[in-house]
Every structure is written in structure tokens, then in C-alpha cells.
């Protein structure tokens, strides 16, 4: 990964898989509709027991959980400051950075869905790489184009 | 010799013989093998074998062919490609419900 994205954190050595991608190809319109349903907005508006908020001063995003930090097993990352009266933007990627959890292997792992043309790419990577999500999605998209060309009949 | 050649072709690259074009090829080959021109047949069989081997070389290659939508992807096995079924049920964004999503593909990328 690092030759393609130098900032990428490879925490556990070269034998570890630090990025996985779940790829769907529902079409551009449907992919967009997946990302405009207000998913994960309850953390941004502090509903459904989301009440614990931490601001990461180094990385500049908000962490929200239903349980107190640092013992919570699940938390969400937001670009915007969570508040009861917060307005939820239409597109998921304009306010949400990822859904994270404790991982036995990588300490923390986060998931985020990103659209690239008619693909819906779900990136799964350790939290330190979450701000690289757009580059990672582009990397995966470029790989898909390359893999299409690998097939003799394409 | 002739049935043996056909059998070799079939077992070396089964996918070639599974579609309509494969079936047609198999029938034509079988018809040709019925004629008396053994030398021509031998050449034909050899060329067919060579062609089949080259066209299905991916069977021996280090990648997997995966269909996503109407597009095929030949993915190196180092990425550990794995595909869900077309009607697999997966968790929705909200995490509370499930819904039917289009077939999906999972790949993994190594570290540095």
C-alpha cells in the first residue's frame, strides 16, 4: 500500500492485511441512494443513546459512542461537531468518517462506504488510516479497472 | 485416438465445453473425428488442444475470474478474492435491518 499511498500506516508488518474492500456494483444512481439515507445520523444528532463525544485534536474529527470512552467497543467518527440540533447533510461522506470497533488484530478497525462511479466500495482499515479513505477508494477503483483488463475475453 | 483426444480436451478445460459455443465445438470435433482422414484429424486435434490450452490458460494462472454485475474481473489470488452470492443478505447501514444487496466482492490488500 505505501508505494501507492505513502501516508498509509502499516502497523503490523508486511504480512498483515491492513486494508480490505467489499465491492458492489449497483449502478451509479443506486449507489448514491445508499449514501443519502441519513445512515449513522443518530450519532451526529446525539440520538439513540449516543451521548459520549471525544474530539481528536491531532486528527481533527469527533468520536461518538453510546458507552464512555475508552472502554466502548464501538464508536462512530464524524467530520462535524455532534449536537442535538445539528443539521445532517444529504450525503453520508459529508459528515461521516467511519464506524469503528475494537479489533483483536489491529486494535481498531473502521468501515466506510464510498461511491466511485457505479461502484459502492466499503473500505475496512485500522482507524489511523481513516482519513485516507478517498485515496483508498480510488486505489481500489483503479485496481478494479486493472483486474478487468486481466481477463482475456474482456 | 479420437475419443481420447476429445476426452483430453474436455478434462483439460471443462469451461470451454459448458456453453453453447463449447457444445458446438465439441460436436464439430466429434464429427471431424469420425472421418477417415486420420492425419488431418491428428493435426486438427493437436491444434485444437493447443488453442484450448491457450484460451483456458487462466485455469493454471495465479488469479481468479469473478463476475460482478455483467463484468468479469481476473483478480490475482494474493488479494484473496471472495464473493457473496447474488441474493446474500447483509447488514444495512443502520445495522438493525438486513436487505438484499447486489452480489459483492471482497478483496484484501497487503501492507507495505
Tell me: the pLDDT tens digits for B82-95?
A: 776 544 344 333 33
Find chain A residues with C-beta within 8 A of B106's C-beta.
20-23
Distance, in Å, from the CA atom of A50 to the CA atom of A46, rounded to the nearest integer, reads 5
In the predicted model, what is the mean pLDDT of residues A72-85? Answer: 96
Choose between A151 and B26: higher pLDDT: A151
In the predicted model, what is the mean pLDDT of residues A106-130? Answer: 90
Helix (H, G, I), strand (E, B), or coil: what is residue A107?
strand
**Domains of chain A: which residue ranges?**
20-149
CB B111 within 8 A of CB A15: yes
Q: How confident is the model at residue A90 (pLDDT cuts 50, 70, 90)?
A: very high
ipTM over 0.85: no
CB A136 within 8 A of CB A112: no
- Residues of chain B with pLDDT > 70, as a percent, come to 25
Nearest Cα of chain B lies from the Cα of A129 at a distance, in angstroms, of: 12
Tell how far CA B77 is from the center of its chain.
15
Q: What is the CA radius of gyration of chain A?
A: 17
In the block, cell 474481473 appears at B73
- Does residue B58 sit at the A interface (CB-CB below 8 Å)? yes
Q: In which element (H, E) is residue B72 found? A: strand B71-76
Find chain A residues with C-beta within 8 A of B74's C-beta.
147-148, 150-151
Could A17 and B105 be called an inter-chain contact, meaning their C-beta atoms sit closer than 8 Å? no
Q: How confident is the model at residue A16 (pLDDT cuts 50, 70, 90)?
A: low
Q: How confident is the model at residue B19 (pLDDT cuts 50, 70, 90)?
A: very low
Ranges of H-type helices in B35-107: 38-55
17-46 in chain B: CB under 8 A from chain A: none
pLDDT at B5: 53
**A119-125 and A107-116 strand pairing:** antiparallel
pTM for the model: 0.69
In the predicted model, what is the mean pLDDT of residues B49-65? Answer: 62
CB A121 within 8 A of CB A145: no
Q: Which of A81, A3, A4, A76 is nearest to A39 (CA)?
A: A76
Could A19 and B112 be called an inter-chain contact, meaning their C-beta atoms sit closer than 8 Å? no
Instruction: Convert the pLDDT of each residue in A98-112 to its tens digit.
Output: 999 998 776 788 999
- Does residue A134 sit at the B interface (CB-CB below 8 Å)? no
Nearest CB to A39 within list B63, B94, B110: B94
CA atoms within 13 A on the CB side of A23: 32
Could B107 and A20 be called an inter-chain contact, meaning their C-beta atoms sit closer than 8 Å? yes
Checking B34-37 for CB contacts under 8 A at 24+ apart, the result is B34/B2
Nearest Cα of chain A lies from the Cα of B25 at a distance, in angstroms, of: 18
Nearest CB to B104 within list A13, A17, A23: A23
Distance, in Å, from the CA atom of B57 to the CA atom of B24, rounded to the nearest integer, reads 21
CB A79 within 8 A of CB A63: no
Nearest CB to B72 within list A23, A99, A154: A154
Q: Name the closest residue on chain B to residue A24, using Cα atoms.
A: B104
Mean pLDDT across chain B: 60
Q: Which of B12, B73, A14 is nearest to B4 (CA)?
A: B12
- Does residue A145 sit at the B interface (CB-CB below 8 Å)? no
Give the angle A140-A145-A149 at the CA atoms, nearest 5°: 140
Supply B101's cell numbers. Answer: 444487496
- Does residue A25 sit at the B interface (CB-CB below 8 Å)? yes
Amino acid at each position: 500500500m505505501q508505494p501507492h499511498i505513502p501516508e498509509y500506516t502499516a502497523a503490523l508488518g508486511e504480512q498483515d492485511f491492513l486494508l480490505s474492500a467489499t465491492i458492489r456494483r449497483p449502478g451509479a444512481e443506486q449507489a448514491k441512494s445508499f449514501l443519502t439515507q441519513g445512515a449513522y445520523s443518530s450519532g451526529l444528532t446525539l440520538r439513540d443513546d449516543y451521548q459520549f463525544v471525544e474530539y481528536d485534536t491531532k486528527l481533527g474529527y469527533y468520536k461518538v459512542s453510546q458507552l464512555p470512552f475508552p472502554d466502548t467497543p464501538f464508536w462512530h467518527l464524524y467530520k462535524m461537531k455532534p449536537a442535538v440540533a445539528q443539521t445532517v447533510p444529504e450525503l453520508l461522506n459529508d459528515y461521516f468518517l467511519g464506524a469503528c470497533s475494537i479489533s483483536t488484530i489491529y486494535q481498531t478497525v473502521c468501515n466506510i462506504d464510498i461511491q466511485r462511479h457505479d461502484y459502492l466500495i466499503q473500505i475496512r482499515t485500522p482507524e489511523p488510516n481513516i482519513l485516507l479513505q478517498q485515496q483508498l477508494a480510488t486505489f481500489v477503483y483503479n485496481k478494479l479497472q486493472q483486474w478487468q483488463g486481466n481477463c482475456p475475453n474482456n | 485416438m479420437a475419443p481420447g483426444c476429445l476426452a483430453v480436451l474436455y478434462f483439460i478445460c471443462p469451461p470451454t465445453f459448458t456453453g453453447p459455443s463449447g457444445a458446438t465445438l465439441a460436436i464439430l470435433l466429434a464429427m471431424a473425428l469420425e472421418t477417415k482422414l486420420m492425419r488431418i484429424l491428428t493435426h486438427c486435434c493437436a491444434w485444437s488442444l493447443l488453442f484450448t490450452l491457450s484460451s483456458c490458460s487462466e485455469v493454471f494462472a495465479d488469479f481468479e475470474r469473478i463476475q460482478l454485475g455483467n463484468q468479469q474481473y481476473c483478480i490475482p489470488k494474493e488479494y484473496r478474492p471472495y464473493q457473496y452470492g447474488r441474493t446474500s443478505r447483509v447488514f444495512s447501514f443502520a445495522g438493525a435491518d438486513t436487505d438484499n444487496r447486489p452480489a459483492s466482492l471482497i478483496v484484501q490488500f497487503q501492507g507495505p
